[in-house]
Amino acid sequence: MTTVPPAASATPAPAEPARWRALFDQALALPPEARASFVAQATCDDATRAELVSLLAHYEEVTAGDGFLQADAAQLLAAAAAGQAATGSAADPHAMDEAPLGTLLGPWRVIGLLGRGGMGVVLEVERADGQFQGLAAVKLLRHGLDSAGVLTRFAQERQALARLDHPHIARLFDAGLGPQGQPYFVMERVSGRPLDQAVAGLGLTARLRLFLQLCDAVSHAHGRLLVHRDLKPRNVMVTDQGDIKLLDFGIAKALDPAPAAPGLTQEGLRPLTPFYASPEQVLGEPLTTATDQYSLGVLLYELLTGVRPTGRHATSAAQAARALLQDDPPPPSQVPDTPEPNWPARRKALRGDLDTVVLKALAKRPEDRYASVEALADDLRRHLAGFPVRALPVSPWTRAWKAARRQPLASASLALAALSLTGGLVASQWQARLAEERLAAFQRLTREVILGTGESMEFLPGGMALKMDLYAKTVDSLQALLPRLGEGDQADRARQDLLMMLVHLGEGHAEGYPNALNRNDKAEAFAQAALAQAALLPPARAAEPGNALFKLRADSLRADALLNAGQAEAAVSLLARATAEGERLLAQAPPSADALQLQGTLAGLHFAHALALDGNGLGVGRLPEAWAAYERAYTLNEAWRQQPALAAFVPALQAHSHPSRPTFEADARRTSAVILSSQAGWLSRSSRPREAIGYLERSIAFSRELIAKHPDQIHFRSDLAQTLLTLTRTHWAAQDPTAALAAVEECLAMTQRFMQEDPGNPRWQGDFDRRSYWKGKVLHHLGRRQEAAAPLQRALKYLQAQQARQPEAARAGQIEEVQALLRTAR
C-alpha cells in the first residue's frame, strides 16, 4: 500500500468551517432569488463571502451528481471549500481531478476511464509491476477530502477489510495518494449492471433471490464488525452470471470524520447518499448495523415497487432528508403509481407478509427494525418457502393455511376438510359468474395445500399411502368439476391440474421411484390417464414448460410399463417421439423455473431412451444409438450449470423442496453420476474396461462431492458403495486385481457402516454378504487364500438362501464357483 506522505508545511489557517456551514445553511433556507442579497449583507470577511457565492452557484450541480458516497450538498461543498482554503488554492468547483492514460497511481497504471461522479472519477487500471494479473478499478477522489486523514483511517480499517472474503463482496485491494495529492482506492473490477437496472424484467421471486445474495454479503461483513454505510443501487452490481457484487466496503468508513474528542461537537463531512440514508445518518447520530439494514429496506422497497419509500419527488438532498425524517412510507402494496409493469398482480403478491417485512426494515428507530440483517433475510426465506414471517404475529388462520403447505400429518385434516368443502361446491348449482372464482379457489387448494401436505406426509411411516389417497381424492374432485366448466380456458386450467396430479399418482406407485408403492399396474393406468388429459390441451397451453414437463414425465412412466411388459421396441419408439418433442419445447421455452425442470426431465427421458436402446437387461441392443442417447442425457443434465439465465432459478426450486428430499443441484449431480456409471457399463459390455474405469472414477468423484455436502443423505453413500462394487468388477475385467481389492474393501467398509447405523434393516446385511463374494474371489486370486475363506463363506450362505427362495441357473453356477474356491482356500 502506498505510504501516506508527511504533512505539508504549515499554511494560513482557513476561516472556521462552522461559520461557513451556518451561513450556507441559512442561505439554503431562503428562496433562490433572495440568496444573493443575503450573502451580500452577511457579516463575514471577503474570502468567506466569495466562497459562499461559489458554493451556492454550484449547489444544484453537486446535488444532482450520482457519484459514489454523495454527501449532503452543504457538507460536501463546505468540505471542498475547506480543503481549498487549507491548501491555499481557489480551485474551480467545476474542475474534476483526473489522471491521464498511463498515469501511475502507486503500482497501478491508468488504462481507461469508467465513469465520473460528484466526488471523483472511476478509472480502469492494471498492475504496472506485473504482481497482479487482470484489471482493477480505482476511485480517485477530488481534492479537499481530508487526504491524509482518509488514508490514515483506511490503514486502521485495512486489517478488518482484509477479512472480507465473500463471493458477493468486491475486494478492496489498496489505497494511496494520486499525483496531485488526491486519495484513491483500488478495488476489484466488476462487470455488470447496477441493481436497479439489472432487475428490469425479472419476476418477484428472482428479485427476492438477488436481494438475499445482497443480505448474505452485508451480514458477512456485519459479522466482522464492518458497516457499509452507503448501500445504494450503484454500489450493488449484478454480473452477467446473475450474481450480486457489493462495492465500496470500507470507503465510507475511511471518508467518515475521525471521532471527535469527548464533549466536542464534530464538524465536517459525513458521507451518505440522501435517498438511501437512514434517519440516524441524516441526524448525525452513531451508526450501527441497523443503519445498513435501513438502506437495505429502501433497496428492497424499490425492487418490489420500482419507487423509493420516501422523498419520491424530492429534487435536492434537503428535500430527501426532510421526507425521510417526516414521512411514513406506505406499505409496498399500497403504492398508488409505479413504473412496474403488471402492477395489479405484483401489488396482490406484496400484500401481507412482504408489506410487513419491508416496513419493519424501514422503521425510523433502529431498535424497531430487525435484530440483524440475517433476521431480515430469514423472514424473506420463510416467505419464499411458504412459512409465516416472524416480523409480526400471524393470525391463526394464516398460520394454519401456511402450515398446510409444508407440515406433515397435522395439516392433513385441514386439506381433507377443504376437499370435502370443495366436493360440496361441485355438487351445487354452479353459476357462470362464479365459475372462475370457484376454479381459482380450487387451484389454490390443489397447488398450495394439497401438494404441500402430500410432500410432507410422504416421509412419515406409511405416509406415501396417505399421500396417494389424498391425491386420488383431489383427482376425483377435479374430474367431477370438469364437465361443469364446458370448454375454454377454465376447462384447460382444470385439465392441466389433472395432468399434474395424475403424474404425481403414477410416480407414487411406480417401481423405482423414491418411497413409491411399487404397483406398476396402477402407475401405468395413471400415466395413460395423464397422457389423455395432455392430448386435450390446446397446443399453446400444452407447450408451456410446466405442462410439457408433466407430459414428458407421463411418457417416461408409460415407457417403463412397456419395458416391464417386454415391449422394448414399443418403449424405444415412444421415447424417441417424446425426446424429440421435448427438445422442440425446450428450445422454445424462455428461462423460468419450469424451463429448468423441463430440461432436467428431458435429460431423464434421454437416459431412459439410452437404457431402452442398450444391450443390457431389457434393452434392444442398438448400441451406437444408446451411446448417443447417454451423451445427450449427460449434456442436458449438466447444461444448466453453464446457463446463468436458468441457474438463477435453482434457489427458488430448492427453497420449496422438502428437507428430506435432495436439493435440485444435488439431484442433478446424482443423475449425472448414474449416467456415467451406465456409460461405464456400456463400455465394459463393449470389451473396453479400461475406458469404463475412467467413467466410473468420474461418477465416484461426483458421489464423493455429494457426500461431502450432504453427509446425512444415506442414498448418496449407498450410490457410492454400489459404484465401487461396479468399479471392482471392471478392474477385474481389466486384469488389475490389486485395484479391484481396494475398491471392494472400501465398498464393504461403507456397507458395514450402514449396518451399524441401521441395524434393523436387512438390506444392508444382504448387501454385505453378496458383495463379500468379490472380496473373497480377488483375495483368492492374489494367493491370500486363508483371508478369502471368511468372505467366501458369507457369500455362499447368502447365495444358497436366495437360490432356495427363487431358483436361477446363473446363481447356481455362482454357488458352484464359490464352493470350488472354498475347497482350495483352507
Binding-site positions for ATP: 139
Element housing 293 (H / E)? helix 289-305
DSSP character string of 753-812:
HHHHH-TT-HHHHHHHHHHHHHHHHHHHHTT-HHHHHHHHHHHHHHHHHHHHHS--HHHH
Q: How far apart are CA 356 and CA 757, in angstroms?
A: 45
Cα–Cα distance between 98 and 80 in angstroms, integer?
16
CB of 776 within 8 A of CB of 795? Answer: yes
CA distance 496 to 480: 15
Any idea what the Cα angle at residue 767 is, between residues 766 and 773, rounded to 5°? 100
- Strands 135-141 and 183-188, bridge-based pairing: antiparallel
CB 610 within 8 A of CB 633: yes
Q: What CA–CA distances, in Å, run from 254 to 119, 157, 311, 430, 718?
A: 14, 8, 28, 69, 54
What residue has cell string 468420474? 698
Q: Which residues pair with 108 in a beta bridge?
A: 105, 127
- Phi/psi of residue 110, nearest 5 degrees: -75, 130
Question: Binding site: what residues are annotated?
Answer: 139
At residue 243, the 3 state secondary structure works out as coil
CB under 8 Å, gap of 24 or more: what pairs does 417-422 form?
418/445, 418/449, 419/445, 419/450, 419/470, 419/473, 419/474, 419/477, 422/477
196 is catalytic: no
> What ranges in 537-658 are assigned the alpha helix state H?
539-542, 545-564, 568-588, 593-613, 623-639, 644-647, 650-655
Contact 712, 748 (CB under 8 A): no
Q: CB under 8 Å, gap of 24 or more: what pairs does 185-188 form? A: 185/138, 185/139, 185/154, 185/250, 185/251, 185/254, 186/105, 186/106, 186/108, 186/125, 186/136, 186/137, 186/138, 187/136, 187/137, 187/138, 187/139, 187/247, 187/248, 188/136, 188/137, 188/245
Main-chain dihedrals φ then ψ at residue 179, nearest 5 degrees: -65, -25
Rounded Cα–Cα distance for residues 188 and 138 (Å): 9
3-class SS of residue 226: coil
SS3 content of the chain, % helix, strand, coil (to 5): 65, 5, 30
Spatial CA neighbour of 61 closest among 399, 317, 354 = 317
Let me know: does 634 contact 628? Beta carbons within 8 Å.
Answer: no
431 phi/psi in degrees, rounded to 5: -95, 145
Task: Please give the backbone phi and psi of residue 577, each rounded to the nearest 5 degrees, phi first.
Answer: -65, -45
Do 637 and 672 contact (CB within 8 A), yes or no? yes
Q: Are 58 and 94 a contacting pair, CB within 8 Å?
A: yes
What residues contact residue 324 under an 8 Å CB cut-off, 6+ apart? 274, 277, 279, 282, 310, 311
Distance CA 70, CA 705 (A): 46
Which candidate in 174, 230, 594, 769 is catalytic? Answer: 230
Integer angstrom CA distances of residue 616 from 612, 627, 807: 9, 12, 21
Cα-to-chain-centroid distance, residue 700 = 26
Q: Which residues carry out catalysis?
A: 230
